[in-house]
Structure 1
Amino acid sequence: MMRALYIHWPFCASKCPYCDFNSHVRDTIAMEDWQGALLSDMQFEANRASGGPLRSIFFGGGTPSLMPPSLVDDLLAQSERLWGFTKDIEITLEANPSSVEAANFASLADAGINRVSLGVQSLDDGALQFLGRLHGAQEALSALDVAQKHFERVSIDLIYARPDQTAKEWQGELDQALTLGTDHLSLYQLTIEPQTRFATDVRRNIFLPLDDDHAADLFAMTREMTAAAGLPAYEISNHAKAGQESRHNLTYWRYQDYVGIGPGAHGRRGGFATLRHKKPENYLSAVAKNGHGMSAETTLAPREQASEALLMGLRLAEGVNLKELEDRFDIETGHLINQRKLTLHSDLGLAQQRGEHLCITDRGMPLLDALLTDLVHDDLVSA
């Protein structure tokens, strides 16, 4: 059953130096062309993936808060016609906390947005400048205040483990964030992604990333502080009060079906992986020619699906049920997890298996990428 819809808006006012998302800066945007393309792409997917109603919709980017509210309204009306909505549907839109975008919050709420994820990124002006953000700390706090007046649920993003950031500095910033009244925090360690300006800066020795040991200490402190404040980590970088977890992102992490439209959007539906053209101009051309923006539709073998389900599910504090995955993908017992490596990591306190249930411990989460490489069975990796 298709549970969720992702809509990618690829445009930003500027490109952040740490960002490797599919985002683009354009002087002009032909809104009528984009409206037609996104609606056509959505119709194509509805013809392929029925079985609603939708439980969640997520507008990501890019900067979807730069979309005209009328376009958001049209896309939501179309998605409801095509699939229907559950009574408690979660409709999230990513937004920058600028005064310009905050001015649209009332109209976006009227269009149907009921959850906003604000890219605050830092509460320190110097850090925001380093991160290439166009807003200041006070502007972000003002936008947050406007968002909380218009939307039922608000989440904020922060980036930590920045170069030379001390434990005291991050503790103070996180303390402040925990007083802002949001029920969800996405707290990401700064990573230097290839093909970004920051990657170039590191190669040129303009700055050095924070060392791994110090970053691990900040990670542990983050989990302790958020848990004490009643927003424990439910995923490696996401923290929420009980019941306030992002239902849309849980669809990904629990490996349930979702449709993705818009430039560069991924989807998983009925055993297929879909991918849209990344470059905006190529996407528009593809939709005009074919009625959809898809660049690839690939059949996923059961072992590939099982591998993806493990890689996603073990990000969650709840972990995965191995018996359910074996039954779902018809994988023989013992062919999901490398039992020898699981025993090793369990003895080290990095992973824990109780019956059919497997999770990564708090101690293991900072080493998640390495643990996943070890734990996922070679039969799945080589599928």
Structure 2
Amino acid sequence: MARALYIHWPFCLQKCPYCDFNSHVRASVDVARWQAALIADMRAEAELAEVEPLESIFFGGGTPSLMPPPLVAALLEEAERLWGFADAIEITLEGNPSSVEAANYAALASAGVNRASLGLQSQHDATLRFLGRLHDAREGLTALDVAQKHFARVSFDLIYALPGQTPEEWQADLSRALALGTTHLSLYQLTIEPGTRFETMVRRGDFVPLDDDAAADLFKLTQDMTAAAGLPAYEVSNHAARGQESRHNLTYWRYQDYLGIGPGAHGRRGGVATQRHKKPENWLAAVEERGSGCQIESAIPLPEQAAEALLMGLRLTEGINLAALAARFALPHDNLINRAAMAELERLGLVWQTPARLGVTPAGMPLLDAILPRLVADGLVAA
């Protein structure tokens, strides 16, 4: 039963060199046309998905803070009409911390947005230029201050493990970030993703990424500092005060159903995976021709659902309840996990287990990509 809605706004002013998200630069956007199409895509999902009152809505991108506030208001009004809103619904909008976008924060809050997630990324102008960001450090901090005045909850992103970054440099940066007073931080190690401009630059020798051992040291420093500040990790890269976790993202990590609309958006409804057309023009044409932007709908076999649930749930510090997972997917308890691998990983201090739960230790989190395939039983196939 879906309780979350994701709305993708694919447009950016500029493509960042590290970004592999479905984001596009266009000279202009016909807002009225896009509003009609997004509402039509929502209505198409409403006819198919069994949904309780929504507990979270997330505007992602792209750069959703470029959306005109009246468009955001219209989409929220339609979502409430179609599904209803739970009490204390979380409505998050991602944005870049530019002065232009910050000028919309009051109107976005009036439209119903109550949580902002800002792509601050760095507090240094030189780093922001390296990352291809359009704002400078002062502009970013000013926008953060404006956001904290208008939204009940604010999170911001930082990127670390940059080329040549030392523990002393990151400790100073993270100390400043923790002093800014938000109750949620997303702290991402720089990853060179395939198909990005950074991948091309690394291949040409324009810069050398930080090596794995140095990055692991910074990861541990991050965990220690955020925990001491009362914002411990609740997921590999996400840190929050108690009760301030992103409820929308927890929907993904706990493998609950959610609806995805807009270009490239993914969804899960009743064991069916959905994916919208990725290119904005193709998505728009599909909606206008047949009322939905959905390109792919595929039933996920129960073993594969179980594997996906394991891979997502083990990202969380709370871990997973194996018995509940086995019951949910009607699979024998022993068919979920490779017990020999689990015993070895536990001996190495990389996973933990209690009678009820299994999880990855702080020491294991930096090695998650290597650990997860070993833990999942051979009979399960992940997507």
Is the shorter-chain TM-score for this pair beyond 0.5, marking a shared fold?
yes
Q: Give the equivalent residue in structure 1 for 2:77.
A: 77
Helix, strand or coil at the partner of 2:42: helix
| Residue 348 (structure 2) aligns with | 348
For 1:143-181, what per-residue CA distance to the aligned partner results, in whole angstroms no more than 9, with x for missing partners? 011000000000000000010111111111100000001
What code does the residue aligned with 2:187 have?
Answer: L
Distance 1:292 1:37 in 2: 8
Structure 2: distance between partners of 1:222 and 1:290:
48
Query: Quick check: 28-37 or 53-62, which moved more?
Result: 28-37
Whether the 8 Å CA contact 1:98–1:143 is kept in 2: the answer is yes
C-alpha distance in 2 between matches for 1:137 and 1:90: 28
Give the aligned length: 383
Q: What is the aligned partner in structure 2 of residue 316 from structure 1? A: 316
Partner of 1:51: 51
What's the CA shift for 1:113?
A: 0.1
Residue 39 of structure 1 aligns with which residue? 39
State the match for 1:184 in structure 2. 184
Q: Give the CA deviation at 1:50.
A: 2.8
Aligned pairs (5 A) from 1:117-156: 117-156=117-156
Shift of 1:33: 1.1
Structure 2 Cα separation of the partners of residues 356 and 243 of structure 1: 22
**Aligned position for 2:204:** 204
Q: State whether residues 96 and 119 of structure 2, in contact with CA within 8 Å, keep that contact through their aligned partners in structure 1.
A: yes
**Amino acid in the other structure paired with 1:372:** L
Match of 1:332 in 2: 332
Offset at residue 289 of structure 1 (A): 1.1
Matched, 1:161 2:161: yes
Describe the SS at the equivalent of 1:192. Answer: coil
Contact 1:231 1:239 in 2 (8 A): yes
Q: Which amino acid aligns with 2:359?
A: C
Q: Which amino acid aligns with 1:80?
A: E
Q: Give the structure-2-normalised TM-score.
A: 0.99
Paired with 2:48 and 2:123, the residues of 1 have a C-alpha distance of 44
What is the alpha-carbon root mean square deviation over aligned residues? 0.8
Shift of 1:356: 3.0
Contact 1:50 1:83 in 2 (8 A): no
Q: Does structure 2 retain, via aligned residues, the 8 Å contact 1:10–1:263?
A: yes
For 1:253 and 1:174, the matched residues in 2 are separated by 25
- Asked if structure 2 preserves the Cα contact closer than 8 Å seen for 1:91 and 1:113, the reply is yes
The CA distance in 1 between the partners of 2:126 and 2:167, in whole Å, is 17
The alignment partner of 2:78 has SS state of helix
Give the corresponding residue for 2:244.
244
Does structure 1 conserve the Cα–Cα contact (< 8 Å) formed by 2:307 and 2:382? no
Which stretches of structure 1, 4 residues or longer, exceed 6 Å deviation after superposition?
none
Q: Please say if residues 272 and 300 of structure 2, whose CA atoms lie closer than 8 Å, have aligned partners that are also in contact.
A: yes
| CA apart distance, 1:51 | 2.6
Are 2:279 and 1:285 aligned? no
Alignment partner, residue 307 of structure 1: 307
**Pairs within 5 Å for 1:355-366:** 355-366=355-366
Matches of residues 21-32 of structure 1 in structure 2 within 5 Å?
Answer: 21-32=21-32
Alignment partner, residue 274 of structure 1: 274
CA deviations over 1:95-139 (Å, ceiling 9, x no partner) = 100000000000000000000000000011111010000001110
Whether the 8 Å contact between 2:274 and 2:297 is mirrored in structure 1 is yes
Q: CA deviation at 1:382?
A: 7.3
Question: Which residue number corresponds to residue 65 of structure 2?
Answer: 65
Deviation of 1:288 after TM superposition, in Å, equals 0.9
For residues 197-236 of structure 1, the aligned pairs below 5 Å read: 197-236=197-236
CA deviation vs aligned residue, 1:329-373 (integer Å, no higher than 9, x gap): 001121100000000000000001111310000010010010001
* Contact 2:231/2:240 (<8 A) preserved: yes
Report the counterpart of residue 100 of structure 2 in structure 1.
100
1:234-269 CA-to-partner distances (Å, cap 9, x unmatched) read 000000000000000000000000000000000001
Q: Does 1:109 align with 2:118?
A: no
The residue number in structure 2 matching 1:170 is 170
Once the two structures are TM-superposed, the CA of residue 381 in structure 1 deviates from its matched residue by 2.1
CA distance in 1, matches of 2:219, 2:51: 40
* 1: CA distance, partners of 2:106 / 2:221: 36
Give structure 2 stretches of 5+ with no counterpart: none
Give the conservation status (yes or no) of the 8 Å contact 2:90–2:247.
yes
Q: Which amino acid aligns with 1:211?
A: D
Measure how far apart 1:36 and its partner are.
0.7
Query: Do the aligned residues in 1 keep the contact of 2:308 with 2:382 (CA within 8 Å)?
Result: no
Matched residues in 2 for 1:28 and 1:125: separation?
Answer: 28
Q: Aligned partners of 2:180, 2:133: CA distance in 1, in Å? A: 20
CA distance in 1 between partners of 2:69 and 2:135 (Å): 21
